[in-house]
């Protein structure tokens, strides 16, 4: 019939190292990143869709007074309405009172989402999560907050004031 076929193998010089061509890592855009916000606004303008400002409830205990003020300032600068459910003094208070207030504001439709702040973030998050339909996530970076919103449909974020810088809290 015919001669046996031998496969053709590409040759390369043996003195050169083999380099694998890896694809570039994907561009990751945080849910709350300025780039994502700008993209959203651009699409809203293109499609003539108005950007909806949100009503946001915020609550804190004595550990989060400065954090709350910085976050409120940033949110109001973006045009959001902020419902202050927290304390404004550094005197010791019970965090559950303010966690329940934020959860009730969302349940009653006064706010779409909420932010709670206490020393560790854990206690106030547990308090909020006692309410039906509340999904409070303990977040100390904006990436964790974005994942909590995107993957867990969190509607409240809990920020640990004693373990997060104010700048980080504002970014969240």
CA 118 to chain centre: 17
Q: Are 56 and 102 in contact (CB under 8 A)?
A: no
The dihedral formed by the CA atoms of 66, 149, 82 and 33, expressed in degrees to the nearest 10? 70
CA 157 to chain centre: 7
Which residue is it, tokens 């909590």? 148
Q: Which of 62, 100, 131, 151 is catalytic?
A: 151
**Beta bridge partner(s), residue 51:** none
- Residue 62 a catalytic site member: no
Catalytic residues, by residue number, are 151
């Amino acid at each position: 019939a015919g001669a046996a076929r031998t496969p053709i193998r590409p040759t390369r010089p043996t003195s050169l190292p083999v380099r694998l061509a890896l694809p570039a890592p994907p561009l990751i855009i945080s849910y709350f990143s300025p780039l994502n916000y700008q993209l959203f606004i651009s699409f809203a303008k293109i499609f003539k869709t108005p950007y909806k400002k949100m009503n946001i409830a915020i609550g804190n205990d004595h550990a989060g007074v400065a954090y709350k003020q910085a976050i409120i300032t940033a949110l109001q600068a973006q045009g959001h309405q902020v419902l202050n459910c927290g304390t404004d003094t550094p005197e010791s208070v019970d965090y559950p009172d303010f966690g329940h207030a934020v959860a009730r504001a969302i349940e009653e439709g006064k706010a779409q989402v909420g932010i709670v702040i206490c020393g560790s973030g854990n206690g106030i998050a547990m308090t909020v999560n006692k309410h039906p339909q509340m999904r409070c996530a303990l977040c100390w970076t904006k990436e964790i907050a974005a994942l909590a919103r995107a993957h867990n449909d969190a509607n409240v974020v809990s920020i640990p004031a004693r373990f997060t810088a104010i700048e980080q809290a504002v970014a969240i």
